[in-house]
Amino acid sequence: MQIEQVEKEITTIRLSQEEVVIINNALNEVCNGLYLNEFSTRIGASRANVEKLLFQIRKIIDAMK
């Protein structure tokens, strides 16, 4: 991972394919493999927002192939 730019509301980073897959797998486990009470409190985002991010990450992986 290379950090390109950090601002108050947005950060730009570069990730390898392996790193993107790690993020995908972690998000998938959080959304589908674990039952979490108070999901949004523990994760810091709603389940819907995390699932949306997971979908976007999957599209990135597909594009990298």
Q: What is the pLDDT of residue 37?
A: 86
The residues that bridge with 11 in the sheet, in sequence order, are: 6
What pTM, to 2 d.p., does this model score? 0.86
The residues that bridge with 13 in the sheet, in sequence order, are: 3
pLDDT in tens, 11-62: 999 999 999 999 999 999 999 988 888 999 999 999 999 999 999 999 999 9
Going through the chain in order, the beta strands assigned E by DSSP cover: 2-6, 11-14
Residues 39 and 10: their CA atoms lie apart, in Å, by 23
For helices 47-64 and 17-28, give the axis angle rounded to 10 degrees. 150
Residues 13 and 31: their CA atoms lie apart, in Å, by 24
